[in-house]
Amino acid sequence: MWVNHRLLLPVFLLMLVMFVTCVALSTQAGKEIMDKTSAADLKFADGLGAWEQVYSVLTSPRCINCHTATTYPQQGDDRHRHFANVIRGPAGKGVPGLNCVSCHQSENADSTGVPGGPNWHLAPLSMRWQDTNDRPLSSGVVCRALVDRSRNNGLNAPGLLKHHEEEPLVLWAWNPGRRPDGTMRTLPPLTHAEFVAATRTWVDAGTPCPSAK
């Protein structure tokens, strides 16, 4: 019995050390997991914030006027229906006799106030960013449409970034030319560099979309 009592203290101390070590290790592991979770949350939040910046450009008149849900394009900062009975046509390029390129040439015509760019046309209906009453769709709806490869011409996330970086009609939004009265058309709310940077942040975060409708 005496021997047993003499062993009791070391055994107890050993168990205490082991317990403290386990607690310390588990706390460290938990901290690492928490840190990783926080970093992921932060990246996700950054991505969502960047998306809202992207959305602010997509729904600006220079972009959304050709992303309609109707049979016609829009024009102007008030996004009114395109004049002269212009219609979408089967391929988004108007109809024979009244094509987009009947007026819109490969570059802006500042002397006559007609905007232009390569292959001027409407976005497909799958990329509509408005409802049929010409109201912009919500941020979440546009986001989910944009990342849906069955609707976005098969673009993956890097493809979307490249589209925003290089597509001539996207670039036109930052060089929209002069109105017929000689004044400059308004620009999107971000510079092109800011737009691309926001798109990159959104893509790097995994193209998160707002969960709201």
Partner 1 sequence: MATFQLNVNGQSKQVNVDPSTPLLWVLREELKMTGTKYGCGISACGACTVHVDGIATRSCVVPVSLIGDRAIVTIEGIGQDPIGHAVQEAWIEKDVVQCGYCQSGQIMSAVALLKAKAKPTDTNIEESMGGNLCRCATYVRIREAIKSAAGQI
Q: Report the interface residues with partner 1, using CB under 8 A.
A: 83-87, 89, 95-99, 101-103, 105-107, 109-114, 116, 180
Residue 200 CB, shortest distance to partner 1, in Å, is: 34
Name which of 107 and 131 has its Cβ closer to partner 1: 107
Q: Quote the CA–CA distance of 123 and 159 in Å, as a whole number.
A: 16
Pick 76 or 136: Cβ nearer partner 1: 76
Judged by beta carbon, residue 110 or residue 165, the one nearer partner 1 is 110
Which two tokens mark 129?
């960013």
What six digits make up the tokens of 16? 């205490």
Give 47 or 116: the residue with its C-beta nearer to partner 1: 116
Closer CB to partner 1, 42 or 101, in the complex: 101
Residue 62 CB, shortest distance to partner 1, in Å, is: 19
192 contacts 164 by C-beta, under 8 angstroms:
no
> Minimum distance between the CB of residue 144 and partner 1, rounded to whole angstroms?
32
DSSP 83-148: STT----TTSSEETTEEGGGT--SS-BTTTTB---TT--PPPGGG--B-TTSPBPPHHHHHHHHH-
Give bridge partners of residue 81 from the DSSP assignment. Answer: 74
DSSP state letters, 9-33: HHHHHHHHHHHHHHHHHHHHHHHHH
Residue type, 165: E
Report the C-alpha gap between 201 and 207 in whole angstroms: 9
Shortest separation between residue 176's beta carbon and partner 1, angstroms:
16
Of 79 and 82, CB closest to partner 1: 82
Least Å from the CB of residue 177 to partner 1: 12
Q: What's the number of CA atoms in the CB half-sphere (13 Å) around residue 114?
A: 14
Give min distance, CB of 75 to partner 1, in A. 12
Question: Which residue from 185, 57, 176 is spatially nearest to 120, judged by alpha carbons?
Answer: 176
